[in-house]
Each structure stands twice: as C-alpha cells, then as structure tokens.
C-alpha cells in the first residue's frame, strides 16, 4: 500500500529540560532514547503508549520548528517505487542508510516543494506498546498526564498548496478528504488541503503561508471527554492554550490547540469520520473558513493564522 502512516515528527526546541517536562509529564509520552546529534545538539526520542515502534517524536535542542518528517511504508519495495515517483515529479532524492536515524532502517530522503524534509523508510526497531499484545488491557494502568496514545497528523504551510497537494498525490498516492478553495470552479486557487493514504481523516494538511513552516503536530485521543480532560490538565500545568475545546467543521474532529515551552503548536485531536478514496472530497469556500476551522465560534483568531514555527 505504500505509505502506511506518518512515523515520526522531528522538531526543534529551545530548552530540552522544559520540553521534556512538557512532552513527558503533560502529554505523557515515553522516553526511549537520549543522544547527541551529529551537529552536537541534545536529542530526546519519545513514543506514545499505544505505539510499538521505537519513537514517533524526536526533540532536538537548538531553535524551533520542524526538522523533518518520517513516513513508514508497508513493503521494502515501496521505497524504490516512491523514489522513482519522486524523481519523476522532479525532486532530488538521496538514499539514507540504516542508523542515520537511531533505530530506523535505510530509506530515502528528499525536500518537498514546500521546503520540508521527508524521509521514507520501511523498518524501525519495534519495542512494543505499553499494554502488549497478549490479552492486552485497553490502556496502561498508570498513565502520566494526558497519556496520549499516538502521533496523529501535522499541518504545514507553503506558498503553493496546490503544487504540494499534487506532490502528495503523485509521490505518496495520497488523496484529499477536505479542501478550502477560493471558488467551486475547477480552476480555483487552493487555500488548504487535508490528505491521507488510508482511512484516517488526514495525515498531513497543507495551507498557504510561508515556505517550510510548522503550524502544528497532533496527538490522537479517543473521544470528546478526553479532549476536555486534556484541557483541564493543561491548565493545571500552566500550558498556554491557543484554542479551548471545540469542534472542527473540516474533518469534524474535536480539538484543543496549545503550545510547548518553545512555542511549537501542539494539538490533541479526537473523532473525525472514516475516509475512503472513493468518498467525494468535502469542499469549503473561503467565506466559510471560520466555521470550517472552528465550528462553534465560526471565526478565526489572529494568533491561529499567524503564529508559525
């Protein structure tokens, strides 16, 4: 099937001690490794309780924003297929060796038209979920903080969302579940696109903005009650909340947006409908964008549209 899921987000932080407190104590991620990057920066690796691969988040000290994304494929042969598709699209592709990223096998790497670095790989060291696979309980007994189970998706910005949408379609075989357009005509300008390769409502979203920027990356929760509980815990931990619990019109997901200590925007996300490649794409027009993003308030706040890392 090619791309199965987003395997990891590699993000910069300004202070590792503060970042570790946020991601381990408030979000409840499990630390799996600490090391020093080839550039001499501190790095910390994390996974959620329901993830079996070694890590889904890498924090690297020294700035803000996203360093790169990792995408896991189902079959080793998928690497060759995606490499050819990326080259046909006009991208410069390099091979990465096992160990270039700790616990990650060999693969390919390229820079997208949005100026984001994507790595595609087939294997990562499996260390198991926190509940195992033999008569597993539904969740660990001693969750820390919010206890997020897994990485869900990310939203990035670029100057040409339509070109980036075509890249994700042509190279990754993604399809659009939702779009924001200037008009309903075929020659519309694309404002944003929400894309996936499976039944997940979206794995990557792209909106118009500066090249190479991160808007947010998100962790999955089960339901609306967990979203509200997460917001309570954020308040207890003095986490800056960007948007209090609400619903998206786009994707129908339930959400809280908040910031890590470095200013990178996070999200916890629940709900949304099942996606299928033959399902018609939902289309929103710009005049209804406020309701599309924040269904209840029906308007965007300035911080949400301008703060990027």
On whether both 209 and 287 belong to a single domain, the answer is yes
Q: What is the mean pLDDT of the chain?
A: 95
On whether both 223 and 273 belong to a single domain, the answer is yes
pLDDT one-digit tens code per residue, 114-151: 999 999 999 999 999 999 999 999 999 999 999 999 99
What is the rounded distance in angstroms from the CA atom of residue 309 to the CA atom of residue 304?
12
On whether both 233 and 107 belong to a single domain, the answer is no
Q: How many domains does the chain have?
A: 2
On whether both 163 and 98 belong to a single domain, the answer is no
Last residue of some domain: 75, 101, 121? 121
* Residue 79 located in a structural domain: yes
Give the structural domain span for 16. 3-121
* Residue 133 located in a structural domain: no
On whether both 278 and 166 belong to a single domain, the answer is yes
What is the rounded distance in angstroms from the CA atom of residue 146 to the CA atom of residue 139?
12
Statement: residue 186 has pLDDT above 80: no
What is the rounded distance in angstroms from the CA atom of residue 67 to the CA atom of residue 156?
12
Provide the annotated active-site residues.
Answer: 153, 202, 216, 248, 257, 267
* Residue 145 located in a structural domain: no
pLDDT for 296 equals 83
Do the beta carbons of residue 123 and residue 78 sit within 8 Å? no
DSSP state of 248: -
pLDDT one-digit tens code per residue, 284-293: 988 888 788 8
User: SS3 of 224, please?
Assistant: helix
> What values do phi and psi take at 173, rounded to 5?
60, 30
CATH of residue 25 = 3.10.180.10
Do the beta carbons of residue 257 and residue 155 sit within 8 Å? no
What is the rounded distance in angstroms from the CA atom of residue 245 to the CA atom of residue 224?
9
Pairing mode of beta strands 117-121, 150-158: unpaired
On whether both 117 and 155 belong to a single domain, the answer is no
pLDDT one-digit tens code per residue, 237-268: 999 999 999 999 899 999 999 999 999 999 99
4 pLDDT band, cuts 50/70/90, is very high
């Amino acid at each position: 099937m090619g791309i199965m899921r987003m395997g990891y987000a590699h993000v910069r932080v300004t202070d590792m001690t503060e970042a570790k407190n946020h991601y381990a104590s408030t979000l409840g991620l499990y630390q799996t490794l600490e090391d020093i990057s080839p550039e001499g920066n501190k790095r910390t690796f994390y996974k959620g309780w329901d993830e079996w691969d070694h890590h889904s988040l890498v924090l690297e000290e020294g700035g803000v924003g996203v360093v790169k994304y990792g995408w896991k494929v189902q079959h080793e042969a998928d690497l060759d297929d995606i490499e050819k598709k990326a080259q046909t699209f006009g991208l410069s592709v390099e091979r990465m060796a096992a160990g270039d990223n700790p616990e990650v096998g060999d693969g390919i790497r390229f820079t997208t038209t949005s100026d984001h670095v994507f790595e595609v790989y087939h294997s990562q060291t499996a260390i198991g979920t926190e509940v195992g696979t033999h008569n597993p309980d539904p969740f660990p007994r001693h969750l820390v903080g919010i206890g997020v189970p897994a990485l869900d998706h990310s939203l990035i910005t670029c100057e040409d969302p339509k070109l980036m949408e075509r890249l994700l379609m042509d190279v990754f075989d993604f399809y659009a579940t939702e779009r924001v357009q200037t008009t309903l005509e075929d020659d519309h300008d694309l404002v944003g696109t929400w894309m996936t390769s499976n039944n997940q409502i979206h794995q990557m979203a792209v909106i118009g903005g500066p090249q190479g920027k991160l808007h947010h990356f998100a962790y999955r929760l089960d339901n609306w009650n967990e979203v509200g509980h997460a917001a309570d815990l954020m308040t207890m931990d003095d986490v800056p909340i960007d948007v209090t619990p609400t619903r998206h019109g786009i994707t129908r997901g339930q959400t809280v947006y908040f910031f890590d200590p470095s200013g990178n925007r996070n999200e916890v996300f629940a709900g949304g409908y099942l996606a299928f490649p033959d399902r018609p794409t939902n289309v929103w027009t710009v005049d209804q964008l406020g309701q599309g993003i924040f269904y209840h308030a029906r308007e965007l706040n300035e911080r949400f549209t301008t703060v990027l890392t």
